[in-house]
Structure 1
Amino acid sequence: MKKNILIGAFLAAALPAAQFAAAQGETYPARPVRLIVAFPPGGSVDVVARLVAPPLSQSLGQPVVVDNRSGASGNIGTELAARAKPDGYTLLIHTIPFVANVHLYSPLPYDPLADFAPVCLHPHIAGELLNMLGGVDIVAVQYKGGGPALVAALGGEIGISFPNISEAVPHVSSGRLRALGVTGARRSAALPEVPTIAESGVPGYEFVTWHGVLAPRGTPREIVALLNEKLRAILRSPELSARFAQMGLDVIASTPEEFSAHLKKEIEKWGRLIRERRMRVE
């Protein structure tokens, strides 16, 4: 199971967060905000989006609508967000494929750094890392997202899977899944009895997945600042913090600069593994 970190990363600099008059002369937000999830319903990204959307809707005073646009390991929804008007009414929540796909797909229809500004891991890669460090040969079977892959594992269609802890805990607790190991550097508070993969005999193994919110590059700074304040407050609320803890998620409310630096490091990190393992998606 993959260790999870929820990154509440936020766009641009922290500016006054009071409501303001947008360029069109309207007060933002004046209509519903779309939050694109680039994966099918049921996966960890979808679950996180649906937990964040209601309090964000309440805080903004407008509906935040979760829009699942899955396909091509997240590329379809990501491209849709990249091409959206940068007016604050389209946001994207993503995870490791956002930085890994630049090395897996050629050509990629968007640039993860040039086409997005940070606002607030991929199962195949987790398996390849285990192959490399553990000297095993796990054959990857591609699914549209974590939800369908988990269903396949529950149904006996595949023998091993790398679901996020937030997805796996209910099924481990019910006995439908057996937890073999946690991919993080330390055990999960959600499943403290399950050892890490490194503890189980694969030293150096660590795979941590994250969730982050982004918006199209060019979104006004004032809108970014408003989203910054709202999301930080939501992520730090006792109710949501407790819910994320139950799911095995660690909450990190990062600055835009920290998230940008994180994305650059992730692109380099997974690029090295993908090149070494000669991974490619046609």
Structure 2
Amino acid sequence: MPSSVELYLQYEGLIVPKETHSFESLQYAQQFKFKDDDVVAVTYPKSGTVWMQEILPLVLNGGDLTPLNTVVNWDRVPWLEETRLAKVVDQLTSPRALVSHFTYNLMPPSFHTSKAKVIYVMRNPKDVLVSSYYFHQMASFLEDPGTFDEFIEKFLEGRVLFGKWTDHVKSWRRAELGDRIMFITYEEMIQDFPASIRRISDFLGCNLTEEVIQKVAEHCSFKSMKSNCMSNFSLVPKKYMDNDKSPFLRKGIAGDWKNHFSSEQLARFTSVIRKELEGENFSLLWSLD
């Protein structure tokens, strides 16, 4: 198995995969010029990024399905920090949609001086961990996750992509962006998808009709995405992502962690996360137990 030194770059104390990132791309992100009408969906990895790549173009263009059917998702709504952005940035039409796994402090200077909006998507960290565990098994450009027990320790210590979950959430929760930021959870989106789309639409000033909202909900459903080759990562060569080991779009549900954690693992996980969020002025929408 390749070592983490071969697979990962260190950037500002965080690890990122070399397959999709380079020092040049991280530098490019720092110099990126945000426009006032840009929208960036920010997530900790495995928290609904790909879902937002599906939703944002439809909300921003009034439900036109063309981009979903003609452009692969990583070019349709590129990652701010990945090498691909420099190649596709000129093809993006305003209002541009991006995604990012950056913590707040890594956002480029132009972000802070612009009026660009952020949608921060949070997901129950236990489900994030389970999803990440399977992703590491199928992606050859990531380290082998080891046993589930070992991976829990890595996750809690922040020896995973983009560091500790708690640090990521805290950085964005503390960001003083006023009406430029909207927080939503993966679980809310699963529970009432049309209502979530309506919230996103209102936040972005798109004022979609009820009919368009239903259309977006239908075309951005897990089932619809799983069958769309522009969205399900099946176009990625098998040597990078082996869907036979675990499909990239695996379950798309909330609560799968219950099938994986033992009571000891749960107690350990919960105590660490609780301790790290002590004194924060936001509450989590999920019970950690």
Please give the TM-score of this superposition, normalised by the length of structure 2.
Answer: 0.29
